[in-house]
A and B are shown apart, each in its own frame.
Chain A
Amino acid sequence: MNERDNSITTRDLCLWYGKFQALINVTINIRHGLITSLIGPSGCGKTTLLRCFNRINERYGYVTTTGEIKLLNKNIYDPDVSLIELRKSVGMVFQRPNPLPISVYENVVFGLRIHSDRKPARSELDDAVEKALTEVGLWNDLRDRLDTKATNLQLEQQQKLCIARLLPLKPEIILMDEPCSALDVEATRAIEELMLSLKGRYSIVIVTHNMAQARRASDECIFMLLGEIIEHARTADLFLNPKNPKTAEYIEGRYG
């Protein structure tokens, strides 16, 4: 495997919340342009790991991290790394859709506005909105309602909007933390299709409790248990021939 194929690599990553160790010697290589799913029982550290990749964990004063995290072969703990630029390139989608309490339009261009020094031209913003909303499949539904408050949309639309909000910034990596757990079956399908259509251009890491979803939507799969990586393989292999007995137990539904 070529070095350049990796979009996220960690070496001996450990993380403590105060005295509690939530991640233990995590070493992974997440490949570029693929969808990688992260599965494991509740509390095993999936969210924690995901939040390491954009260094959002540091918001809490009592978090300590050791080890190395490289995104696109750049160590994100290097002193010259700017958190602002990092988070611009690493988008995050949350379990509960969290559109900002402003209009649909403003939600999509929020990133552009905060990252440009001059006031962006109206036409530039209009284009970005159309492009991003088209990409997530919301344009036809919302083109006449761009002024509605985003928090009034249906949950599915809100979640798609949260994805659309990342696109104008041209992120390299999109992190999704159980993006479908607040959605119904139809909406879940829609989000999965969206992920598949975004694949290739973006590296996507998705945390999910839904085995079927992991199987359907991801190329590679990582199984975690109690803060450790147990197995990382192509999704088909992991589900058909798990190497580790613990993985087998989990996907057969014995715990979690």
Chain B
Amino acid sequence: MNSTPSSPATSPAPFVSNPRVRRKLRQERIAQAVFATMVVLMLLPLLGILVYLVVRGAPLISWEFLTTNPSKGMTAGGIWSALLGTVWLVVVSLAFSAPIGVLAAVYLNEYAKDNWFTRVVNLAVVNLAGVPSIVHALFGLGAFVLFFGMGRSILAASLTLAVMTMPVVITATREALGAVPMSFREACWNVGATRWQTIRRIVLPNAVSGILTGVILEISRKAGETVPIMFTGAVFFRAIPEGDLFAYRLTDQCMALSMHLYTVTTQVTGAPAALPFAVATVLILAIILINATSIAIRAWLRSHRKW
């Protein structure tokens, strides 16, 4: 310490703070505070909705609430037939849209040449995603219910939902495929692999987490839609055998959570005030659960991949 060389008296000591630096630091703190405030502003309503729903709805929710049909003009009982209806609609609709969407996306991304046809298809997919659900509802009514003679049924409603949410899978799948480096494909082609071999052995295994995310996102879209199923297969009320998962047939009409929420909120008098909140809570929790699964699956698959 004693041997510290003395610095020239004229120049300030190095690295020392000065007013100019302090002003920058102040701006920095203000900027950060503004951005953080916006995050709070954005989160508050979201959390507010969630807490409000759960607090108001929780007293009604019980195992019995989930597993009994509505009764007494929907002022009492549970939501069994609506819950099961939503599950049926989602599963049946997924059975159509997931395979078609994923395979179509594979074609578009891996096989299709970049020509006017592909561009038109891409444009169509993007625009399909932006079509309002009421339009899909009318399309479903015209095409599936009337033209194909399915009548108002789970099948018709599911197909309508499938058409409506197809762009979600297609877009997610294409993004997942696009994220697989081109060099992997070239490596395969250069040892004489066909496109299909390349897709099956390298591209799909590396894109599967993204594809799954897309499919799961699609599930939550489907579960929440009201208008399209209202036109094509959902009914206000229907009692079904309680506890039987196969209580519905494809040709049946069904209840659905989203529609039931609409009904108990606007169409029914004399229901307990907590009822709509309870239905909404179940719907939201189901969607949160599905999304959480998606995040978990993705995280797990990511941790098993490195390139």
Q: A residues bordering B, Cβ < 8 Å?
A: 54, 56, 59, 61, 83-88, 91-92, 94, 96, 98-102, 110-111, 113-115, 149, 151-152, 162, 165-166, 169
Can you list 11 contacts pairing A with B, beta carbon distance less than 8 Å? A59-B189, A61-B113, A87-B192, A98-B186, A101-B306, A101-B307, A110-B188, A114-B193, A114-B194, A114-B201, A115-B192
Q: Would you call B190 an interface residue if the criterion is a C-beta within 8 Å of the partner chain's C-beta atoms?
A: yes
* Cβ–Cβ contact A56 & B306, under 8 A: no
Closest Cβ–Cβ distance, residue A155 to chain B (whole Å)? 13
Q: Would you call B28 an interface residue if the criterion is a C-beta within 8 Å of the partner chain's C-beta atoms?
A: no
Please provide the chain B residues from 108 to 129 with a CB less than 8 Å away from any CB of chain A in the complex. Answer: 113-115
Report the separation of the CA atoms of residues A94 and B202 in the bound assembly, to the nearest whole angstrom. 18
Closest Cβ–Cβ distance, residue B187 to chain A (whole Å)? 5
Closest Cβ–Cβ distance, residue A40 to chain B (whole Å)? 22
Q: Would you call B305 an interface residue if the criterion is a C-beta within 8 Å of the partner chain's C-beta atoms?
A: yes
* Cβ–Cβ contact B191 & A169, under 8 A: yes
Query: B187: which of A61, A84, A98, A169 is its contact (CB, 8 Å)?
Result: A98
Given contacts A61-B115, A114-B201, contact A101 B206 (CB under 8 A): yes
Residue of A nearest to B305 (CB): A101
Among A96, A100, A114, the one with the most B-chain Cβ atoms within 10 Å of its Cβ is A100
Query: A114: which of B113, B183, B191, B305 is its contact (CB, 8 Å)?
Result: B191
Q: Would you call B37 an interface residue if the criterion is a C-beta within 8 Å of the partner chain's C-beta atoms?
A: no
Residues of A within 8 A of B188 (CB): 100, 110, 114
* Cβ–Cβ contact B191 & A165, under 8 A: yes
Residues of A within 8 A of B71 (CB): none
Residues of A within 8 A of B194 (CB): 84, 114
Considering only CB atoms and an 8 Å cut-off, how many residues of chain B contact the other chain?
A: 21
Residue of A nearest to B191 (CB): A111
* Cβ–Cβ contact B187 & A91, under 8 A: no
* Per-residue contact bits, chain B 169-212, to A (CB 8 Å; 1 contact, 0 not): 00000000000000110111111111001000110001000000
* Cβ–Cβ contact A100 & B189, under 8 A: no
Residues of B within 8 A of A111 (CB): 191-192
Residues of B within 8 A of A162 (CB): 187
Query: B191: which of A94, A96, A110, A152 is its contact (CB, 8 Å)?
Result: A110
Residues of B within 8 A of A149 (CB): 306
Closest Cβ–Cβ distance, residue A156 to chain B (whole Å)? 17
Report the separation of the CA atoms of residues A97 and B189 in the bound assembly, to the nearest whole angstrom. 15
Residues of A within 8 A of B202 (CB): 100-102
Closest Cβ–Cβ distance, residue A29 to chain B (whole Å)? 24
Closest Cβ–Cβ distance, residue A190 to chain B (whole Å)? 21
Report the separation of the CA atoms of residues A151 and B188 in the bound assembly, to the nearest whole angstrom. 15
Closest Cβ–Cβ distance, residue A75 to chain B (whole Å)? 19
* Cβ–Cβ contact A100 & B187, under 8 A: yes
* Cβ–Cβ contact B192 & A86, under 8 A: yes
* Cβ–Cβ contact A84 & B192, under 8 A: yes
Report the separation of the CA atoms of residues A96 and B184 in the bound assembly, to the nearest whole angstrom. 11
Residues of B within 8 A of A113 (CB): 201
Q: Which 10 A-B pairs have the closest CB atoms?
A: A87-B192, A88-B192, A98-B183, A111-B191, A92-B190, A84-B192, A151-B307, A101-B307, A98-B187, A114-B193
Given contacts A101-B307, A114-B201, contact A61 B114 (CB under 8 A): yes
* Cβ–Cβ contact B306 & A83, under 8 A: no
* Cβ–Cβ contact A96 & B183, under 8 A: yes
Report the separation of the CA atoms of residues A166 and B190 in the bound assembly, to the nearest whole angstrom. 9
* Per-residue contact bits, chain B 239-250, to A (CB 8 Å; 1 contact, 0 not): 000000000000
Residues of B within 8 A of A92 (CB): 190
* Cβ–Cβ contact A169 & B189, under 8 A: no
* Cβ–Cβ contact B184 & A54, under 8 A: no
Residues of A within 8 A of B191 (CB): 87-88, 91, 110-111, 114, 165-166, 169
* Cβ–Cβ contact B306 & A98, under 8 A: no
9 additional contacts (CB under 8 A) given A86-B192, A166-B191: A54-B190, A56-B190, A84-B194, A87-B190, A94-B183, A110-B201, A165-B191, A169-B191, A169-B192
Closest Cβ–Cβ distance, residue A115 to chain B (whole Å)? 7
Residues of A within 8 A of B307 (CB): 101, 151
Report the separation of the CA atoms of residues A92 and B188 in the bound assembly, to the nearest whole angstrom. 10
Report the separation of the CA atoms of residues A169 and B206 in the bound assembly, to the nearest whole angstrom. 25
Report the separation of the CA atoms of residues A101 and B113 in the bound assembly, to the nearest whole angstrom. 26
Query: A85: which of B190, B192, B201 is its contact (CB, 8 Å)?
Result: B192
Among A56, A101, A102, A162, the one with the most B-chain Cβ atoms within 10 Å of its Cβ is A101
Report the separation of the CA atoms of residues A130 and B297 in the bound assembly, to the nearest whole angstrom. 37
Among B115, B184, B192, the one with the most A-chain Cβ atoms within 10 Å of its Cβ is B192
Residues of A within 8 A of B184 (CB): 98, 100-101
* Cβ–Cβ contact B306 & A152, under 8 A: yes
Report the separation of the CA atoms of residues A110 and B189 in the bound assembly, to the nearest whole angstrom. 11
